[in-house]
């Protein structure tokens, strides 16, 4: 699995309520961790038993070095991560309230190079699936085109981004899996069912889907009469940050393993639900247990402990 796109340092603050300004909030907890759609997806792939390669770009600064190290510690091959002299590494301030809902301020970094030429594109031929988010569109475009030429499956985390970027990238992938806002930017002013139809018509896609948090996932494949609904696994969410990223990583891994669309969506939903429940990325055994309905762990309520 090759994951291409965003990596950031997440600074997570646990608060009771996210208050509207002017306000002053007290954090009950703080943590610093790897974030970013493609990077979180790569970590998910590794935890779920796959081999993950991450391609992204950061500054050659302390945060950039730390992120590369953290990805390697997770078992992700981060050799293709470009550390750029003089650039600033992206970061996010994440506030999580007592219901596990988050508000994110993300800083996209500065001076990051856009040219994807240094990436070892030949490795795509060995991949089981290529997953890209829209934060490094030049690299995503090249990776999707290369994957399509070589007959390698691909998937896109079609998150909130500029309309022109989504329009450029969605037709190039096999599985476009939108976040709610991403879909409304791609197909403004129409219901999600119609947005998914338009995504499928934009290119030779095999799947268009949109994730809706605890409301599950709507999906369409070519020739389908009605939009499918993959319900979410009911969990007691403590932190929904990264649920979508983990969902995408798990979906792409399942695709690489040869799972059919519906099975892959179910697998991804289980992984996303566990991430939302525990605030950390699950391993394969936990996902399989949830899928088999043999999970006997009570919902984890981390914040009660601190
Ligand atoms: N609170 C939750 N309970 C159960 N499953 C969830 C929850 N939040 C997310 N998920 C799962 O993860 C997927 C992606 O979450 P979502 O919040 O839609 O993405 P994003 O984090 O990109 O906004 C959902 O489709 C669902 O399967
Ligand atoms: Mg997302």
Using pLDDT thresholds of 50, 70 and 90, give the confidence band for residue 256.
very high
Task: For residue 293, count other CB atoms closer than 10 A to its CB.
Answer: 8
101: confidence class by pLDDT, cuts 50, 70, 90? confident
What is the distance in A from the centroid of ligand 1 to the CA of 202? 25
Instruction: Calculate how far, in angstroms, residue 247's C-alpha sits from the geometric centre of ligand 2.
Output: 8
Q: Is pLDDT above 80 for 17?
A: yes
For ligand 2, a single-atom ion, the residues with CB < 5 A are 159, 179, 244
| Closest protein CA for atom 1 of ligand 1 | 214
Long-range contacts of 140-145 (CB under 8 A, 24+ apart): 140/4, 140/5, 140/169, 140/172, 141/168, 141/169, 141/172, 142/116, 143/2, 143/4, 143/55, 143/116, 143/119, 144/169, 144/172, 144/173, 145/172
Q: What is the dihedral of CA 58, 172, 196, 103, to 10 degrees?
A: 0
- Considering every ligand atom shown, identify the ligand nearest to the alpha carbon of residue 299 and give its number: 1
Residue 242 CA to ligand 2 center (angstroms) comes to 7
Mutate-to-test residue for ligand 1 from 272, 275, 280, highest number of ligand atoms within 8 A of CB: 272
Among 181, 216, 244, the mutation site with the greatest number of ligand 1 atoms within 8 A of its Cβ is 244
Closest by CA to 89, choosing from 6, 193, 172, 202, is: 6
Cα of 244 to ligand 1 centre, how many Å?
6
Taking CB atoms and a 6 Å cutoff, what residues make up the pocket around ligand 1? 179, 211-214, 216-217, 232-233, 235, 237, 240, 243-244, 247, 269, 272-273, 276
pLDDT of residue 164: 98
What is the rounded average pLDDT of the residues 276-281? 95
Given pLDDT bands bounded at 50, 70 and 90, which one contains residue 157? very high
Choosing from 5, 228, 232 the residue with most ligand 1 atoms within 8 A of its CB, the one to mutate for a pocket test is: 232
Q: What confidence tens digit (pLDDT) does each residue in 173-212 have?
A: 999 999 999 999 999 999 999 999 999 999 999 999 999 9
Q: Which ligand is nearest to the CA of 38?
A: 2
Please, what's the b/e burial string for 161-195 (b: 16 or more CB within 10 A of its CB; e: otherwise)?
beeebbeebbebbbbbbbbbebbbbbbeeeebeeb
**How close is the Cα of 94 to the center of ligand 2, in Å?**
14
Best residue among 240, 251, 280, 286 to mutate for probing ligand 1, ranked by most atoms within 8 Å of CB = 240
- Asked if residues 10 and 59 have their Cβ atoms less than 8 Å apart, the reply is no
In the three-class reduction of DSSP (H, G, I as helix; E, B as strand; rest coil), residue 174 is classed as coil
CA of 117 to the centre of ligand 2 (A): 27
* pLDDT for position 304: 44
pLDDT over 60 (residue 16): yes
Which long-range CB contacts under 8 A does 64-71 form with residues at least 24 apart?
64/89, 66/9, 67/7, 67/8, 67/9, 67/34, 67/39, 70/33, 70/34, 71/7, 71/34, 71/39, 71/42, 71/43
pLDDT at residue 107 above 80? yes
Cα(136) to centroid of ligand 2, in Å? 15
Question: Which ligand number lies closest to the CA of residue 133?
Answer: 2
Of 211, 210, 222, 229, nearest to 272 (Cα)?
211
Paired tokens of 127: 């991949």
Minimum CA distance residue for ligand 1 atom 20 = 244
Tokens of 55: 């391609």
- Compute how many other C-beta atoms are within 10 angstroms of the C-beta atom of residue 128: 17
């Amino acid at each position: 699995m090759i994951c291409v796109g965003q990596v950031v340092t997440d600074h997570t603050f646990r608060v009771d309520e996210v208050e509207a300004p002017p306000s002053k909030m007290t954090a009950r907890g703080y943590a610093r961790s790897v974030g970013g759609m493609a990077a979180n997806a790569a970590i998910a792939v590794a935890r779920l038993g796959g081999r993950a390669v991450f391609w992204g770009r950061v500054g050659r600064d302390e945060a950039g070095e730390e992120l590369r190290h953290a990805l390697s510690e997770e078992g992700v091959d981060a050799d293709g991560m470009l550390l750029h002299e003089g650039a600033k590494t992206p970061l996010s301030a994440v506030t999580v309230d007592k219901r596990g809902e988050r508000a994110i301020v993300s800083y996209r970094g500065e001076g990051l190079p856009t040219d994807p030429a240094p990436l070892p594109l030949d490795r795509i031929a060995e991949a089981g699936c290529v997953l890209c988010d829209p934060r490094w569109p030049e690299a995503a475009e090249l990776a999707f085109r290369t994957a399509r030429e070589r007959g390698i499956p691909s998937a896109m985390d079609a998150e909130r981004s500029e309309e022109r970027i989504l329009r450029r990238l969605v037709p190039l992938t096999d599985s476009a899996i939108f976040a709610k806002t991403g879909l409304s930017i791609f197909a403004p002013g129409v219901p999600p069912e119609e947005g998914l139809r338009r995504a499928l018509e934009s290119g030779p896609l095999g799947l268009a889907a949109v994730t809706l948090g605890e409301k599950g996932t709507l999906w369409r494949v070519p020739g389908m009469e009605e939009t499918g609904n993959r319900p979410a696994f009911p969990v007691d969410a403590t932190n929904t940050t990264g649920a979508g990223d983990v969902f995408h990583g798990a979906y792409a891994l399942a695709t690489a393993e040869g799972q059919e669309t519906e099975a892959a969506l179910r697998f991804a939903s289980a992984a996303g639900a566990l991430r939302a429940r525990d605030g950390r990325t699950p391993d394969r055994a936990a996902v399989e247990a949830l899928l088999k309905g043999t999970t006997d762990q009570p919902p984890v309520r981390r914040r009660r402990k601190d």
